[in-house]
Amino acid sequence: MIHYDTIIIGGGPAGMMAAVSSAFFGQKTLLLEKNKRLGKKLAGTGGGRCNVTNSGSLDDILDSIPGNGRFLYSVFSQFDNQDIIRFFEDNHVKLKEEDHGRMFPVTDKSQTIITCLADKISELGGHVQTNCEVVSVKKAAGLFHIKTNTGKKMVCQKLIVTTGGKSYPSTGSTGFGYEIARHFNLKITDLEAAESPLLTDFPHKHLQGISLTDIKLSYQRHSITHDLLFTHFGLSGPAALRMSSFIKGGETLLLDFLPQMEPAELSGFFEDHRHKTVKNTLKILLPERLADFLAQPFPQKIKQLSPKHIQELIHTIKQFPIKTTAKMSLAKSFVTKGGVSLKEINPKTLESKKTAGLYFAGEVLDINAHTGGFNITAALCTGWVAGSQTPVCTDTDQSLANE
């Protein structure tokens, strides 16, 4: 049986960074991943370009982690988004900043990030086994005993669980980490969909594929200014995903297509274009297909509209109602809300308070963030911190069989 100082289960961003840091701190390290390749979910972020982090300030980052962001103060004091940027630059991966502080590799390819992490693990002497699913974990005489689907057995002093949440299970995140946690008597908080696309009873066909920059989406006291995408089922894009935290489905949202223009300013704009049709005037401000759609009830020229009609037109642009019918299921949402209860985890080290040597990092924890690089930042930073802790010897004796 091969003995490692540290074994990490799950080769997403949290697991890869945990392997880098563990190997960097001189531990004999093994990363196990059940997929053929590392980072399958990471590869799909940012439209396949990998939204690897966000350049925002610490406050911006914490505000963008609505699910227990404050737990990460200590983690970010050890390794934060600036360290992520420095890490990639030191390892010859140039990053670029896009809208809303989102950071991407200049190659626009997720594989650049994944290859960099994988190369770093091996440069530091760490080992990786892909196509290798962990099926059971037990702890006996101070060591974790790991069994894989291929029948391989290995032991380690320190085990880091980075198996992700339960969303997009086709990427490998099927919730095995929760079973490990339960086995070691850790509590799992309720799992829910977060950052979910919204289903609406809106005439999608007309607007499908239109993406809008910095619109305002409101529901009661919640108001989000960000980008929005009309899809074949309803709404996606950051504004819809963020709004999903505040609704259950069935609510009517109000969409302001032009939040940067006050009603009086819009009214003046229409007056300046009074000889044009409504459609041609709206085309100056909005994508053509959207302008066509919004102008349907107003086929006239602006100068032919009564003051009441002008007010109706402005109301349509500033407070367009969209009825939601549901949120996407957890499996089709971007992030899992809930996970290993943070009450059970030491915030400085990410070690279980109940089982020495057992660590958790990434989305398996009860932490959820907005898309835009914030989940990946949390995964990479918690991964680094969990990997950097020195293994300890204990004699707790527990076992988990998942066969």
Instruction: Using CB under 6 A, list all residues that contact ligand FAD.
Output: 9-15, 32-35, 40-42, 44-46, 51, 133-134, 162-164, 167-168, 171-173, 176, 334-335, 362-363, 369, 371-376, 379
If the CB atoms of residues 11 and 387 are measured against ligand FAD, the closer one turns out to be: 11
DSSP-assigned letters across all residues of 313-349: HHHHHHSEEEEEEEEPPGGGSSEEE--B-GGGB-TTT
| Minimum separation from the CB atom of position 394 to ligand FAD (A) | 23
| Minimum separation from the CB atom of position 340 to ligand FAD (A) | 11
| Minimum separation from the CB atom of position 280 to ligand FAD (A) | 36
CA angle, residues 44, 230, 260, in degrees to nearest 5 = 105
d(CA 230, CA 98): 21
Residue 371 DSSP SS3:
coil
If the CB atoms of residues 99 and 271 are measured against ligand FAD, the closer one turns out to be: 99
What DSSP element (H or E) covers 101? Answer: none
> Could you tell me the CA-to-CA distances from 95 to 29, 98, 369 in Å, in that order?
28, 10, 21
| Minimum separation from the CB atom of position 163 to ligand FAD (A) | 4
Query: Encoding tokens for residue 91?
Result: 């390892």
If the CB atoms of residues 231 and 281 are measured against ligand FAD, the closer one turns out to be: 231
CA angle, residues 221, 225, 226, in degrees to nearest 5 = 140
| Minimum separation from the CB atom of position 335 to ligand FAD (A) | 5
| Minimum separation from the CB atom of position 323 to ligand FAD (A) | 25
CB 367 within 8 A of CB 331: no
d(CA 46, CA 237): 11
Query: Encoding tokens for residue 286?
Result: 């909005």
What DSSP element (H or E) covers 198? Answer: strand 198-200
If the CB atoms of residues 270 and 334 are measured against ligand FAD, the closer one turns out to be: 334
d(CA 17, CA 236): 29
If the CB atoms of residues 160 and 286 are measured against ligand FAD, the closer one turns out to be: 160
Residue located via tokens 């070691």:
184
CB 141 within 8 A of CB 157: no
Q: Give residue number: closest CB to ligand FAD.
A: 172
| Minimum separation from the CB atom of position 352 to ligand FAD (A) | 17
Query: Encoding tokens for residue 329?
Result: 């299921």
If the CB atoms of residues 113 and 310 are measured against ligand FAD, the closer one turns out to be: 113
| Minimum separation from the CB atom of position 207 to ligand FAD (A) | 22
CB 44 within 8 A of CB 111: no
Instruction: Provide the phi-psi class of 194: left if phi over 0, else alpha when psi is between -120 and 50, else beta.
Output: beta
If the CB atoms of residues 10 and 234 are measured against ligand FAD, the closer one turns out to be: 10
If the CB atoms of residues 93 and 161 are measured against ligand FAD, the closer one turns out to be: 161
If the CB atoms of residues 164 and 317 are measured against ligand FAD, the closer one turns out to be: 164
| Minimum separation from the CB atom of position 146 to ligand FAD (A) | 9
- Looking from the CA of 108 toward its CB, the CA atoms found within 13 Å total 2
